[in-house]
């Protein structure tokens, strides 16, 4: 798979000496390494919005990921109607545009399938997971600055995987043996980001991310005191998940995290 970054931020006058530069370099390191990963045969199409939606992804990085962060909210990968459209983690369009204040041009993946078109901010679909996640953060924090003063959101892998008919596939859908080479690529980058931002708390969104955080930290930072806390995933595909915001708020309260946002 060809790796290319096209960015309006890569001119000398826009370069800045902050953590977002190092963050973007680690994302590029991950993307380069992923070109060597042998995808499972079931995966017929890959979208990577950190490449084709680079402009808005960098807006997210430079606007909100440019200082040390105590807390990382840790997701798995882009969703078809969220980050794959906007370049922002859990990037439901109205939340990204109207609350985070991010909007801009979005390109196309090298191979686009008709069942999963990339229309950027013109997309008419809503990603429920992203709407729930950022809706909860907004209700708790009121303003983005309040959230990002201590926290940021990072996905384990930058790729959305699909079958030929557009059906979504995730690393969690495959055997551990098939995914071991992927873990050997993504785990070290995850750990580098923890160290870069001096993260003290990882809020793992879903069981897959909880497991990956536990295993990566145990392997690469065995003496670390980083806490790993679980937050149920906002996906509507999860069983009995209609009251996700209520459950998630209770989980944040149980973990004593609300004090950072109120």
The CA distance from 207 to 76, in Å, is 10
Percent of the residues in the chain that have a pLDDT greater than 70, as a whole number: 94
Q: What is the pLDDT of residue 187?
A: 98
Report which of residues 11 and 131 the model is more confident about: 131
CA distances (Å), origin 170, targets 121, 157, 191, 236: 24, 10, 21, 15
pLDDT in tens, 20-41: 999 999 999 999 999 999 999 9
Provide CB contacts within 8 A for 253, sequence distance 6+: none
Q: What is the pLDDT of residue 8?
A: 41
CATH architecture of 38-260: 3-Layer(aba) Sandwich (3.40)
pLDDT in tens, 162-178: 999 999 999 999 999 99
pTM, two decimal places? 0.93
The number of beta carbons lying within 10 Å of the beta carbon of residue 52 is 22
pLDDT in tens, 198-241: 999 999 999 999 999 999 999 999 999 999 999 999 998 877 78
The domains of the chain are located at: 38-260
């Amino acid at each position: 798979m060809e790796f290319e970054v096209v960015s309006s931020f890569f001119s000398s006058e826009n370069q800045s000496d902050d953590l977002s530069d190092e963050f973007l370099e680690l994302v590029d390191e991950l993307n380069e390494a992923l070109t060597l990963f042998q995808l499972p045969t079931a995966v017929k199409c890959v979208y990577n919005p950190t490449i084709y939606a680079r402009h808005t992804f960098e807006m997210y990085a430079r606007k909100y990921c440019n200082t040390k962060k105590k807390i990382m909210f840790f997701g798995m990968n882009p969703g078809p109607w969220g980050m794959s459209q906007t370049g922002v983690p859990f990037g439901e369009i109205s939340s990204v545009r109207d609350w985070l204040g991010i909007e801009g041009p979005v390109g196309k993946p090298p191979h686009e399938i008709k069942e999963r078109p990339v229309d950027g901010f013109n997309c008419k679909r809503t990603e429920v997971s992203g709407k729930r996640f950022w809706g909860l953060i907004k209700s708790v924090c009121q303003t983005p600055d309040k959230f990002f003063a201590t926290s940021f959101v990072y996905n384990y892998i930058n790729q959305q995987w699909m079958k030929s008919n557009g059906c979504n596939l995730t690393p969690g859908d495959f055997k551990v043996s098939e995914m071991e080479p992927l873990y050997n690529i993504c785990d070290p980058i995850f750990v580098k980001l923890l160290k870069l931002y001096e993260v003290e708390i990882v809020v793992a969104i879903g069981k897959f991310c909880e497991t990956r955080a536990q295993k990566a930290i145990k392997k690469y930072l065995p003496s670390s005191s980083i806490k790993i806390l679980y937050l149920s995933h906002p996906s509507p595909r999860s069983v009995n998940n209609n009251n996700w915001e209520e459950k998630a708020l209770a989980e944040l309260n149980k973990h004593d995290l609300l004090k950072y946002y109120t």
